Amino acid sequence: RMDRYRELVVPKKNIDCSSFGRLVLFLQCQHSQVSAGKLIIIHNGGDPFELYANPTSTNITGTLLDTGNFVVREVSSKQVLWESFDDPTDTLLPSMKLGVNHWTGRNWSLTSWLAEDEPALGAFTIDWDPMERRLVVRRRGVISWTSGVLRDGAFEFIAPKPDPLSLNYNFTNVTNEAEEYFTYSLIIDPFTPEDRRVVSGWILDYQGQIYDQA
């Protein structure tokens, strides 16, 4: 049974490529190539996986930003054609969105892995409920937990216990005619030593638990 109250667990371990966000897994642990305007992921023993295909013959460029967002742009116009933050997996990084873009119809949500070592789509999802201003975890479409209302910078049922010198969350809810979404950022104390500054990433695991892989 899932408790009504849930903590954001911050384990004392470093992030490695195989465990952080699965977004970085594709971009750093595998090989990628651009061929005929296509961005393709290649992995040993499997078929290539197409991330993006340019419908025209224009030149494109791909950039991995400091945020972890991999952005594909048209060279001359600088127009963003595709970005990895628009296709989240089971991990929410700072500045990623959970919510909806009303103009494009795109929804941003997380989906858990099927098992601890099985990256197929799992039973749990987490998304943003803009009407109630809350995060919602569902198991096969049925609500199993909510964060409670986001009010005055804090959620009703989330009790984070961050290291005061390492992790402090700044929660943001954006609502306008184009988008309704939740995002977060880290507030890092200027007195925090460099070796204690961490990279945050909320993971929705295969059991429906949420924790910060920091």
Q: Which residue is it, tokens 């500045």?
A: 95
User: What total number of domains does the chain contain?
Assistant: 2
**What contacts 32, CB < 8 A, 6 or more positions away?**
26, 39, 40, 41, 42, 51
Encoded amino acid at 23, one letter? L
Find out whether 171 and 182 touch, Cβ atoms under 8 Å. Answer: yes
Residues 6+ apart with CB under 8 A from 121: 111, 112, 113, 114
pTM beyond cutoff 0.85: no
Same domain, 77 and 146: no
Whether residue 13 sits in one domain with residue 76: no
pLDDT confidence of residue 31: 44
Q: Per residue in 90-126, pLDDT tens?
A: 999 999 999 999 999 999 999 999 999 998 999 999 9
| pLDDT tens-digit series, residues 145-200 | 999 999 988 899 887 655 666 667 889 999 999 999 999 998 877 777 776 666 78
Assess whether 116 and 81 both reside in one domain.
Answer: no
Do 71 and 111 sit in the same domain of this protein?
no
Q: Which domain holds residue 137?
A: 1-22+89-214
Question: What are the distances in angstroms from CA 210 to CA 168, 199, 201, 204?
Answer: 16, 16, 10, 5
